[in-house]
Structures are given as C-alpha cells and as structure tokens.
Amino acid sequence: MKATAKAHTNIALIKYWGKRNDELILPTNNSLSITLDGFYTTTSVAFKQDLTEDTFLLNNTPIVGEQHQRVTSFLNLVRKLAGKELYAEVKSMNAVPTAAGFASSASGFAALAAAASKAIGLNLSESELSRLTRQGSGSACRSIFGGFAEWQKGARVDGSDSFAVQVAPKEHWDIRVAAVVLSSKMKKVSSRAGMKRTVESSPFFKGWVESIPADLDAIKQGISDRDFQKVGEIAEANCLKMHATTLGANPPFTYWLDTTVTVMQTVQQLRDSGIPAYFTIDAGPNVKVLYLPQYEEEVKRTLQGIPGVSDVKLSKVGQGITFLEDETLA
C-alpha cells in the first residue's frame, strides 16, 4: 500500500482570493493558473498496519505540530473516502525553495493527495483527485493539471462541483515565469488569514468578485490565441485588484515591500523599452514575472540588477501529476 507522486507548483494569473466555506475550502471566484516546471514536490505515502499514528518527514526532517496536523487531517479525508483505518508514513522532498515565495502547499498537497489516494487503493479520476486536493489547500487543486488550469468554484454547498479543469496543455504555449526573490523578509499574513480578513471587512471585496468573470473570459481567449500582451495585461491588472482589496480591509494590510514596488516599476520600464513582460504577486512580497523565451537573457539580467533582489529563478510551463515507479522515497 505504497505510492509515490510528483506535483508541480502553480502561479495564478487570475487569483483565488476569498472563501465561501472555510472548512471545505470553497472559493468565491474561479481562478486560473500556470503549472510551473521548475518547482515541485515528490511525496511517498505508505499505509501500514503496524503504525499507531501518521508520520511525516519533509526533506528528511521529522515534522510535528501544525504542519503534521494538516497532513493528518488531510489523510483523514483519504481514509474516510477509502473506508480504511490505516495510518501512513509520509515522506516528501520539496524542490520549491520556500524563499522563492511560492506556496509549497500547492505542490505539497497535490503530491500528497495523488500518492495517498493511490496507495490506499482509490482509483480517482483527475477531477476527483482535484476535488480531494482542494480540501488540503485550495490553490493545490490546480496543480493536478499541467499547462493552464482553471479552478471552477462550483455552486453546490457540499463542494462536489468545485475542482480544477485543464484549459490548455503545456505544449500549447512556451511562456516563461521568473520568480524574483527579495532579500528582506516581512512578517507574513498567511493567505488563509489574509483572505478571511478581506472577505469579512474589505468594501472592495464585492468589486473584486464582480470583476472576475470578464477577466476569465478575456484571459482564456488570450491563452487560446497565444496573445501574450492580452494575457499579461489581464494577469497584471487582476493581481493589482486582488492586492487592492487588502488595503480596504480592517485592519488594512499589504504584502508588498518597497522592493516589491521597485520590481513592479522595473517590469513596466521593460515594457516601455519594447520587452513584453508582466508581473503577478501572491500573498507575499516576491514578484513573478511573465515573459517570452526570446527575451530571457535581458529579463533575467534586468531583474537581477535591482537592488534588494537576492535571486531570480526561471521556470517553463510544467506538467501535471505523475506517479513514480521507483519508490526511492519510501
């Protein structure tokens, strides 16, 4: 009863920001992301008769406390679905540098869901797997698919119609993402806490939700047409709208640092100089920059030259879940 799965993280072009059900992790809006080749998690899950609790090893370090609890709560869902009471040994290796500001929870929960469901003998379709993954971490449900994926918020109260679908495979379009890592750190408001405060108190939240369907229609058309300018403009504007909602929250907050704004301005200057590049930012200060492969050298050099930037990591569009036969982790 053992399986190993690999999942890549993703970056949203249309953000998931706001829940309508905190426990089931049901969103107030559809979101759309690119799965990234460069950042992934590999996880082995082995269900065993002789275990008295779940164990979790991350990058060869035993994990206890809150992170362990999240894994156990998630495995409880898998056990319930399978009707089996066995505990599991979970081993994960993260190739998602936490400093790069990617939610490693996206690749982490996608890999955990895939490995655990296979190990326990569930034979889930991709939609079913995405729906299960969603309950570990919302954005993770998009990482089941490679290329471009849309998380459909669904309408049912039990969340049965809330999962991701593929919009286009990775072969559809070779666009690139640069993760710009900033050297200074800030106290983090988790995405969970940030969303909740925004939903409960920001008067801008209503406008955010209302604006999503038009953004989604336009960006899907842009992806289908491989129209980089269109996709970039919508992604950048959607990110700015999401971050604007946090300024209206009570108490107000922002994920940006001064260098975050400098990187945003530098990307706009790149465009002024004729290089198409657009930014997006998640629930943290680091910036992700979308660009086309032929401008890679110039984009990288420019971003690396910004004072306060400690690293720039480049990625192509990645694939969805894969199962590994050689179970070296377990």
Structure tokens at 192: 């969970």
35/137 with CB nearer ligand PMV:
137
Distance CA 255, CA 140 (A): 21
Residues 224 and 235 sit within 8 Å (Cβ to Cβ):
no
Q: Check residue 147 and give left, alpha or beta (phi > 0: left; psi -120 to 50: alpha).
A: left
Of residues 139 and 260, the one with the C-beta less far from ligand PMV? 139
The neighbouring-strand residues paired with 40 are 8
15 binds ligand PMV (CB under 6 A): yes
- 132 to 151, contacts with ligand PMV by CB under 6 A? 137-139
Q: Which amino acid is at 100?
A: A
Residue 16 CB, shortest distance to ligand PMV, in Å, is: 3
Amino acid 158 reads D
Check binding of 9 to ligand PMV (CB under 6 A). no
Confirm or reject binding of residue 283 to ligand PMV (CB under 6 A): yes
Q: Which residue carries 């698919």 as its tokens? A: 145
Backbone angles phi, psi at 26, to 5 degrees: -110, 125
Least distance in angstroms from the C-beta of 167 to ligand PMV: 14
Residue 6 CA from chain centroid, whole number: 15
> Least distance in Å: CB of 4 to ligand PMV?
23
Q: Specify the pairing of strand 87-94 against strand 55-58.
A: parallel
Q: Rounded to whole angstroms, how far apart are CA atoms 300 and 317?
A: 17
Q: Is 191 in the site for ligand PMV (CB under 6 A)?
A: yes
If binding means CB under 6 A, how many residues of this protein chain bind ligand PMV? Answer: 13
The reply on whether position 282 binds ligand PMV by CB under 6 A is: yes
Using CB under 6 A as the binding rule, the residues of this chain from 50 to 109 that contact ligand PMV are 103, 105
Nearer to ligand PMV, 15 or 91 (CB): 15
Q: Does 35 bind ligand PMV (CB under 6 A)?
A: no
Question: Residues in the site for ligand PMV, rule: CB under 6 A?
Answer: 12, 15-16, 31, 103, 105, 137-139, 191-192, 282-283
